[in-house]
């Protein structure tokens, strides 16, 4: 069996790859593994379970709740809430485990199961591996040791989760948003109620789009992966800015008053300066990934802020932040982690903090985001090649050196193998888009010939 857990839990097409049986089995296995690890020692265990609005989340939630309760875990069912809300509530309620059912920005037919440890933190890799092993042992016939009578878990709807999470968001804001007009695109997803409520309570005038989830329309032509509706709505309503979330609202992209995109790198740049000013940017450092735009790196250097770059993936950003004690990190895609207030990327919190900076400074989002100039970035995926040789081919190495010489200090080249597909990604940044395209095309041809 291939590894079930990816970089963000277990995902697949709901009812095909991710079945009710798998969700139930994984939940029982997780309960047993955490019990083995001593997490439940000395008390009756509790879990927080939430989901995004996908239709398949209804039966998968039922399976997860059944699995946990059958293993003797009391369940607090919080309903449709963002992933970061489930992480927050897991910590705030002192629960032993959190479970979120979502496939984030993926299309509606997909779904996923993501586990959180006590405190709302991602499960350690070794625990995920152990859950997989235990699940497989019992799937093939070894019976579970099941509690009976009063030992079975009890299931409760925790309706206060919504208000408690919104109150948390408002409570960590540095200032109110009075006088701002904000358009929110909720991707017909998990933040459809939370985000408008939080922005309104913070004082903003709120216009919402993509906030009518019906279980089938999540991420459909809207949200952080499709910004055109938000661009148009911001301009049409004369708003100060727009905020776009993905289906589970762990990421945030923005649009300025003219309808221009403000990406994750630019959001990080704005927040880094705001947090430094407030004395909250620990060790004067922000964490990004190797895909962070070169313009972001140049801007941080100019502002005297250190940039630490990790492998691509918010899990690697988070690992670096926790290991080194950094306060701010994120990705170009809009996963932004403010570790003092969240244990994972939180799109609503990010949007609120960005809007708060606009309100506090009286400057437009375009002006604030102008602290960095985003260099043109060209990305070409080269399929059907031997990606394992990307770092050992002398022909490719020579081509990269030549490209870097041509770009000088005004650009860069990055070649990396896909983590999930048989392809190599060629990324070139340059001050001139045509130069970037030409060099990327040339390198893609070399990748095909050298690794094909």
Computed over every residue of the chain, the mean pLDDT equals 94
In which region does residue 17 sit, left (phi positive, over 0), alpha (psi from -120 to 50) or beta (all else)? alpha
Name the active-site residue from 104, 292, 320, 333: 104
Mean pLDDT score, 43-67: 98
CA distance 29 to 17: 18
Binding-site residues for Mg(2+), please? 104, 246, 248, 250
pLDDT band at 182 (very low <50, low <70, confident <90, very high): very high
What digits encode the pLDDT tens for the residues 312-331?
A: 888 899 999 999 999 999 99
Cα–Cα dist 166/163, whole Å: 5
Is residue 435 assigned to a domain? yes
Which residue ranges are tagged as binding site? 104, 246, 248, 250
Kindly state whether residue 202 falls inside one of the protein's structural domains. yes
- Give the orientation angle of helix 56-70 with respect to helix 20-36, to 10 degrees: 40
Mean pLDDT of the region 353-380? 96
**Same domain, yes or no, for 301 and 158?**
no
| Between 256 and 415, the higher pLDDT residue | 256
The reply to whether 102 belongs to the active site is: no
Determine the pLDDT at residue 401.
92
User: What's this model's pTM, rounded to 2 decimal places?
Assistant: 0.92
- Are 298 and 356 found together in one domain? yes
Distance of CA 273 to the CA centre of its chain: 22
Q: How far apart are CA 250 and CA 348, in angstroms?
A: 8
Distance, CA of 193 to CA of 195 (rounded, Å): 6
Q: What's 24's domain CATH number?
A: 3.40.120.10
Q: With respect to residue 168, please indicate whether it lies within any of the assigned structural domains.
A: no
At residue 344, the pLDDT reads 94
Task: Give the total number of structural domains in the chain.
Answer: 3
132, HSE (Cβ side, Cα atoms, 13 Å): 16
Say whether pLDDT at 1 is over 60. no
Q: Are residues 79 and 32 in the same domain?
A: yes
Looking at residue 392, its pLDDT comes to 85
Measuring CA to CA, how many Å separate 308 from each of 320, 332, 451?
8, 14, 31
Q: Residues 160-168: what's their mean pLDDT?
A: 98
**pLDDT for residue 2:** 56
CB 234 within 8 A of CB 242: yes
Write down which residue in 336, 369, 402 finishes a domain.
Answer: 369
Please report the pLDDT score of residue 222 as a whole number.
Answer: 96
Residues 141 and 201 occupy one common structural domain: no
pLDDT value for 420: 64
- Give residue 148's pLDDT band: very low, low, confident or very high (50, 70, 90): very high
Largest CA distance in the chain: 73
Among 119-128, 169-178, 325-334, 413-422, the least confident range: 413-422
444 in a structural domain: yes
Q: Is 200 part of any domain? A: yes
190 in Cβ contact with 248 (< 8 Å):
yes
Residue-number span of the structural domain to which 75 is assigned:
10-162
Give backbone dihedrals phi and psi of 19, rounded to 5 degrees, phi first.
-95, 170
Domain end call among 344, 369, 394: 369
What's the CA gap between 352 and 98, in Å, rounded?
Answer: 24
Query: In the predicted model, what is the mean pLDDT of residues 103-115?
Result: 95
Specify if 3 maps to a domain.
Answer: no
Both 195 and 289 in one domain: the answer is yes
232 with 348, same domain: the answer is: yes
| 152 and 208 co-located in one domain | no
How much is the pLDDT for 86?
A: 98
């Amino acid at each position: 069996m291939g590894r079930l857990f990816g970089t963000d839990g277990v995902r697949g097409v709901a009812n095909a790859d991710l079945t009710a049986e798998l969700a139930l089995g994984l939940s029982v296995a997780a309960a047993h593994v955490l019990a083995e690890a001593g997490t439940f020692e000395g008390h009756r265990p509790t879990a927080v379970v939430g989901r995004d609005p996908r239709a398949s989340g209804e039966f998968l939630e039922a399976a997860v709740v059944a699995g946990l309760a059958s293993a003797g875990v009391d369940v607090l069912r919080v309903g449709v809430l963002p992933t970061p809300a489930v992480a927050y509530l897991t910590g705030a309620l002192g629960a032993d485990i959190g479970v979120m059912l979502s496939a984030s920005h993926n299309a509606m037919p997909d779904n996923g199961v993501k586990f959180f440890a006590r405190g709302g933190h991602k499960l350690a890799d070794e625990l995920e591996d152990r859950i997989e092993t235990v699940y497989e042992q019992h799937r093939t016939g070894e019976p579970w040791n099941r509690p009976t009578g009063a030992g079975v878990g009890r299931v409760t709807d925790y309706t206060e989760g919504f208000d408690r999470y919104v109150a948390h968001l408002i409570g960590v804001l540095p200032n109110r948003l009075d006088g701002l007009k904000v358009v929110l695109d909720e991707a017909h997803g998990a933040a459809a109620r939370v985000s408008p409520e939080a922005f309104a309570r913070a004082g903003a005038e709120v216009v919402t789009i993509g906030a009518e989830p019906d279980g089938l329309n999540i991420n459909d032509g809207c949200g952080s992966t499709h910004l055109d509706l938000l661009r148009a709505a911001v301009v049409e309503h004369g708003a100060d800015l727009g905020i776009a979330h993905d289906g589970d609202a762990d990421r945030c992209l923005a649009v300025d008053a003219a309808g221009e995109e403000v990406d994750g790198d630019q959001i990080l740049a704005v927040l880094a300066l705001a947090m430094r000013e407030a004395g909250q940017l620990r060790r004067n450092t922000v964490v990004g990934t190797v895909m962070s735009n070169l313009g972001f790196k140049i801007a941080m250097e100019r502002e005297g802020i250190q940039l630490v770059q990790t492998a691509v993936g918010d899990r690697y950003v988070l690992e670096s932040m926790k290991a080194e004690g950094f306060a701010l990190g994120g990705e170009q895609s809009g996963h932004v982690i403010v570790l003092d207030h969240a244990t994972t990327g939180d799109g609503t919190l990010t949007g609120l903090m960005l809007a708060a900076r606009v309100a506090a400074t009286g400057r437009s989002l375009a002006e604030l985001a102008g602290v960095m100039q985003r260099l043109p970035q060209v990305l070409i995926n080269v399929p059907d090649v031997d990606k394992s040789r990307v770092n050992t081919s002398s022909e490719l190495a020579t081509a990269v050196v030549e490209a870097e010489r041509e770009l000088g200090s005004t650009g860069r080249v990055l070649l990396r193998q896909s983590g999930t597909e048989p392809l190599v990604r060629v990324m070139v940044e340059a001050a001139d888009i045509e130069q970037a395209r030409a060099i990327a095309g040339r390198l893609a041809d070399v990748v095909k010939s050298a690794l094909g």
